[in-house]
Amino acid sequence: MKKLFASKAEKNEFISGWLFILPTVVGLVVLNIIPLIKTIYESFFKTGAFGKGNVFIGLDNYRRLFTDEEVWQALINTFKYAIIEVPLSIIIAMFIAVLLNKKVKGRTVYRTIYFLPMVAAPAAVAMVWRWLYNNEFGLLNYIRRVVGQNPVNWISDPKIAIIFLALVGVWSVIGYNMILFLAGLQEIPKDYYEAATIDGAGNIRKFFNITLPLISPTMFFVVVTRIIAALQMFDVIYMMIDKSNPALKKTQSLVYLFYKHSFIQSEKGYGAAIVMLLLVVILLITALQMYAQKKWVHYE
C-alpha cells in the first residue's frame, strides 16, 4: 500500500498548514461561497417573505431583467461611475505617492492626512458630502453665491449627479491607492534611478521609463480591485440620493437596485437575478484584464 505521507513530519506539516488557513477558509465558505450559491439558487424563485414560501419560476426573473429598462440604465450608471472613479483616483494617487516617496519633511504627516478619508465610515463621508453639495444650504453653492454665480444642483441634476458622486468616491479612495503605490515604489531599487541620472535622464523620463514599468504589478492589482469595488458601489448612492431625487434614475447602481428589490420591496428572487448580472459583468471584465495582463504588466 502506498503511503500518503512520506513521514510523520510531512503529515504534521500538512495538518498544521490546514489549521493555519482554517479560519480564513471557514470565513470564506460561510460568508462568501454559501451565500453565493444561495443567491444563484434564489434567482430562479419568486421569493416569499422571511425565507418561506418560495415559488420556483425558472428563468422568469431573468426574462424580466432583460426587458427592465431600469436595470440597463443602472448598468450604464455603474459603468459611468467606474470610468470616472478608477482612472482619476489611480492617477492622483500615483502622483501623490511619487511625491511622498521622496525625503520630504513631515512626509509621514502628509501620508496620514491623505489616508484619513479611508478611515472615515462611508456613511459619514456621504452625509458630509451631501451637505456640501446641498443646493439650498450647502457650502459649495454658498461660495458660488458669494462670488455671484448661480447655484448648481450638484446631486439633483440628472446630467451631472453621477460625476459628483464619483468625485466623492475618488476622494475617499485616494489614500488607499496611495499606500499601495508607496509600497510598490519602495520595492524599486534605487540603482535604476542612479544609473538613469548618470545617463542624463530627466525626472519625467525616469517616471515613464523606470517607475511605471516597475510598478505595473502593483498598478495591475490596484486597477483590478478598484474596478471591482467601483462596480459594486452602493453606500454613496444610497446615502446621498433619495427616492424623490430627480437624478435617481441616472445614478442608481446595480447594487442599489439589488438592495431596493431585495430589502425594500421583498422581491429577493429578482434582486438575486440582478446581482447575477453584476457578477457576470465583473467576471468578464476581470477575465479581460487577466488576459491583458500579459501585454502591459512587467514582471521581474
Partner 1 sequence: MRIKKILSMTLLVTIMLTFAACGGKNTADRTVKDNNSGSNDKLVVAIWDKNQLNGLEEIIDGFTKETGIEADIQVTPWDQYWTMLEAGATGGQLPDVFWMHSNEIAKYAEYEMLLDLTDRINSSDKIDLSKYPKDIVDLYNWNNEKQYAVPKDIDTIALWYNKTMFDEAGLAYPNEDWTWDDFKEAAKKLTKSDGSQYGYALNPGNNQDGWYNMIYSMGGAVISDDKKTSKMDDTNTIKAIEFAASFIKEGYSPNYEVLSENSVDSLFKSGKIAMVILGSWMVNDFMSNDYVKTNADVALLPKDAFTGRRISLYNGLGWAASANTKNPDNAWKLIEYLCSKEGQQKQADLGVTMSAYEGTSDNWKNLYPEVNLQAYLDMKENIVIRPYSKSTVIWENYATEKLVDVWRGIITAEEACKSIASRMNELLKQE
DSSP state of 250: G
Three-state SS at 141:
helix
Count, residues near partner 1 per rule CB under 8 A: 25
Write down the least CB distance from residue 52 to partner 1, Å: 6
Q: How many other C-beta atoms lie within 10 A of the C-beta of residue 256?
A: 22
Of the two residues 177 and 245, which places its CB atom closer to partner 1 in the complex?
245
The C-alpha atoms of residue 249 and residue 267 are separated, in whole angstroms, by 19
Write down the least CB distance from residue 271 to partner 1, Å: 13
Of the two residues 142 and 296, which places its CB atom closer to partner 1 in the complex?
142
Contact letters for partner 1, residues 16-55 (x by CB under 8 A): --------------------------------xxxxxx--
Write down the least CB distance from residue 124 to partner 1, Å: 16
DSSP state of 56: E
- Cell 451631501, residue? 130
Of the two residues 96 and 236, which places its CB atom closer to partner 1 in the complex?
236
Q: Indicate whether 248 belongs to the interface with partner 1 (CB under 8 A).
A: yes
- Which of 54, 73, 225, 266 touches partner 1 (CB under 8 A)? 266
Q: How many other C-beta atoms lie within 10 A of the C-beta of residue 32?
A: 10
List all residues 6 or more positions away from 205 whose beta carbon is below 8 Å from its beta carbon.
196
Q: What are phi and psi of 103, to 5 degrees?
A: -80, 70
Contact letters for partner 1, residues 220-239 (x by CB under 8 A): --------------------
Of the two residues 114 and 259, which places its CB atom closer to partner 1 in the complex?
259
Residue among 164, 155, 178, 136 nearest 248 (CA): 155
Contact letters for partner 1, residues 126-165 (x by CB under 8 A): --------xxxx---------------x-xxx--------
Write down the least CB distance from residue 247 to partner 1, Å: 8
Of the two residues 20 and 131, which places its CB atom closer to partner 1 in the complex?
131
Consecutive H or E run containing 46: strand 45-46
Residue among 62, 82, 102 nearest 277 (CA): 62
β-strand partners of 56: 45
The C-alpha atoms of residue 261 and residue 109 are separated, in whole angstroms, by 44
Residues that bind partner 1 (CB under 8 A): 48-53, 134-137, 153, 155-157, 242-246, 248, 263-267
